[in-house]
Amino acid sequence: MKFGLNHLQSFMVVAQKGNLSSAAEKLGTTQPNVGRQIVALSNEIGVELFIRHSRGMALTKEGQKFFELSKDIISQLAQFTRNIREKDSDPQGNFHFLSGMGILEVILENITLFSERFPKVTFSFSPIINAYQLQIGEADAAVVPSFQSIKDPNFIQHPLYDTKMRIYASPSYLQVRSVPKILEDLRSHKIIVYAGETQEIELNKQIINEKTNSWIHPYMKVGTALAMRTALINGAGIGCYAYQRDLIEKGLLVDVFPDMPDQVVSYNYVYHRRLEGSPKIEAFYEFLKEEVIKSWKRRENSAAS
């Protein structure tokens, strides 16, 4: 194809501004020059990108698709450029991290250790895991449960840690409602579950399965592990949470079915292949392995560790 980055840049700016004059001003060039680039681009790819109206220009259906593709291309080129510049330098800049589970709390407890070593890195944390954000470069990395693993071969996924899911309730809740002996006894209890199509199936397996699915009617649905723990500790009901011995030793939670087998959930550190070799990506991965996962394991094993 004969068009270059200047054609894509002009197209993107016209799409955002909605008219040639504003786009030309933004690009520091003339309106006819921008117009010629749009016509050349449209002719090269063989589709009409814009329709004209009284207030300027709007994307056609095909133009909107090309706009999304161009946005991805420019974002990836910008990321590749940053990687080249940063490759032999210390980690720096903003690191946007996605994690919807309890590991985020442990990261925040240890984040000063990372900041002392890499003071030029700033952070943005989001509790919602969105593969598209990773794909287009709006987020750098995520911790993703294996049941939500991203199938795209352009993503690198490193095994990070496993958790053991158990069924918990607070002592105060069980004093009022009594301790269930078998799953059938949960009919008379307030059940808290994780929301979200995949989470609802995978993280609630010990409570909701083939035997109980027909009669379990959740009292409450939560979106994060922190929300689940808070609800359980405050006596809202019974639900599944990652095993942490310190919560039991401190008397905050009771393992309702201690003889029930664990449900193991594995987690991966995930980032797009274009970020391979990025100092920030590698430094944060080492931080997770050396500090965060060790802290998580101490929570699992003992409050006194």
Ranges for all domains in the chain classified under CATH 3.40.190.10: 92-161+267-301, 163-265
Query: What is the CATH code for 92-161+267-301?
Result: 3.40.190.10
pLDDT at position 302: 60
Which one is the CATH code of 163-265: 3.40.190.10, 3.40.50.1450, 3.90.1170.40, 3.20.20.60? 3.40.190.10
How far lies 198's CA from each of 13, 37, 88, 147, 148, in Å?
38, 45, 40, 8, 7
Max CA-CA distance within the chain? 78
Instruction: Please check the confidence at residue 122 and state whether its pLDDT lies above 90.
Output: yes
Name the residue type at position 156: I
How far lies 302's CA from each of 173, 174, 295, in Å?
24, 23, 11
Reported confidence tier of residue 78, pLDDT bands at 50, 70, 90:
low
Average pLDDT, the chain: 87
Reported confidence tier of residue 86, pLDDT bands at 50, 70, 90:
low
DSSP state of 186: G
pTM attached to this predicted model? 0.68
Question: How is 94-132 classified by DSSP, letter by letter?
Answer: EEEEEE-STHHHHHHHHHHHHHHH-TTEEEEEESS--HH
Ranges for all domains in the chain classified under CATH 1.10.10.10: 5-85
DSSP state of 290: I
pLDDT at position 135: 78
Which residue's entry shows tokens 């133009």? 63
Query: What is the CATH code for 5-85?
Result: 1.10.10.10
| Average pLDDT over every residue of 84-108 | 79
Which residue's entry shows tokens 């060790």? 294
Instruction: Please check the confidence at residue 253 and state whether its pLDDT lies above 80.
Output: yes
Instruction: Please check the confidence at residue 210 and state whether its pLDDT lies above 50.
Output: yes
Instruction: Please check the confidence at residue 44 and state whether its pLDDT lies above 70.
Output: yes
Reported confidence tier of residue 303, pLDDT bands at 50, 70, 90:
very low
pLDDT at position 196: 74
Extract the tokens encoding 194: 């994780």
Task: Compute the distance between CA of residue 236 and CA of residue 231 in angstroms, rounded to an integer.
Answer: 5
pLDDT at position 119: 95
- Contact (Cβ atoms closer than 8 angstroms) between residue 156 and residue 273: yes
pLDDT at position 81: 66
Cβ contacts of residue 281 below 8 Å, gap of 6+? 140, 141, 271, 275
pLDDT at position 146: 86
Instruction: Please check the confidence at residue 288 and state whether its pLDDT lies above 90.
Output: yes
- Contact (Cβ atoms closer than 8 angstroms) between residue 96 and residue 139: yes
Task: Compute the distance between CA of residue 284 and CA of residue 121 in angstroms, rounded to an integer.
Answer: 10
% of the chain at pLDDT higher than 70 = 91
Instruction: Please check the confidence at residue 229 and state whether its pLDDT lies above 90.
Output: yes
Instruction: Please check the confidence at residue 304 and state whether its pLDDT lies above 60.
Output: no
The whole-angstrom distance between residue 127's C-alpha and the CA centroid of its chain comes to 6
Task: For Cα atoms 231, 237, 243, give the angle at the middle one, nearest 5 degrees.
Answer: 65
